[in-house]
Amino acid sequence: MKCSCCQQEIIRNLTFKELLFTFLIKKQRCDFCQKKFTKIPTTACPTCSKPGWQTQCDECKQWQMLYPNYEFCHQALFCYDEAFKEWIYQYKFLGDFRLKATFSSEIQAYFSKRKEWIIVAVPLSKERFLKRGFNQVEAFLQAANVKTQHLLEKKVDSTPQSEKNRQERLAAPQVFRATQEISMVKNKKVVLVDDVYTTGRTLFHAAEILQNYQPKEIQTFSLAR
């Protein structure tokens, strides 16, 4: 079995069940890669998972003023530190598709508590998808056996968020629109998923479109914050 991050062989004793039913062998990280990523600490903003806050952070207070009717709640798994930046660069920008399963165990644990929710991955523009070859968010969800619904599409190919500073990201115009299947969210709970939460602009834009179709609740999720 190979590490889902560095792809090196993991040597361990399999359980009796795993020997009988090989599909039970889950993707996992080696000890080195397991320690490399820092989980969001308990002292984090309760609204957006920003580390270092025990109460709602200043950024969330600003978003609440901008979206007073949106009871937003975001959860992330890991800190957006150097180790995670290196991983996202290899996966997203260098196109190492094997890394889609790196965090499958944690993703499965999160969504196992939301089986009745509609899961929506933040979409790429057609141009970006053709250039990259895959949607990195849909790929890591599929690797964790999480079913998604195609309810949003990106109408323009904008400059990647990674190439913008904070002010440019916050000032970015709305880039999403609803698909024909959007009506299914009425009175349903929805989880919007992205890879990284930095300013929150992308997820708030996506949630803004969904809100027009009367979902019961919207939560957001990302691998890192």
Same-domain check for residues 27 and 92? no
Residue 159 has pLDDT above 90, yes or no: no
Same-domain check for residues 2 and 58? no
Q: What is the CA radius of gyration of the chain?
A: 18
Same-domain check for residues 3 and 44? no
- Per-residue pLDDT averaged across 158-183, rounded? 84
State pLDDT tens for residues 83-132.
999 999 999 999 999 999 999 999 999 999 999 999 999 999 999 999 99
Quick one: pLDDT at residue 19? 47
Strand runs (DSSP E) across the chain, as ranges?
74-78, 118-121, 152-154, 176-178, 189-196, 217-224
Same-domain check for residues 72 and 31? no
Same-domain check for residues 216 and 119? yes
- How many angstroms separate the CA atoms of 219 and 191, rounded? 5
Same-domain check for residues 11 and 107? no
Same-domain check for residues 18 and 58? no
Task: Give the percent of the chain with pLDDT over 90.
Answer: 80
Same-domain check for residues 14 and 83? no
Domain range for 9: 1-36
- Per-residue pLDDT averaged across 155-180, rounded? 82
Quick one: pLDDT at residue 165? 81
Same-domain check for residues 27 and 43? no
Same-domain check for residues 131 and 217? yes
Quick one: pLDDT at residue 24? 45
Beta bridge partners of 75: 221
- How many angstroms separate the CA atoms of 83 and 36, rounded? 6
Same-domain check for residues 4 and 59? no
- How many angstroms separate the CA atoms of 196 and 186, rounded? 27
State pLDDT tens for residues 6-61.
989 876 655 655 545 544 456 689 989 999 999 999 999 999 999 999 999 999 99
Cβ atoms within 10 A of the Cβ of 97, count?
A: 13
Please give the tally of structural domains in the chain: 2
Q: What is the CATH number of the domain that holds 187?
A: 3.40.50
Higher confidence at residue 1 or residue 86?
86
- Per-residue pLDDT averaged across 189-198, rounded? 97
Residue 158 has pLDDT above 80, yes or no: no
Same-domain check for residues 12 and 106? no
- How many angstroms separate the CA atoms of 6 and 23, rounded? 21
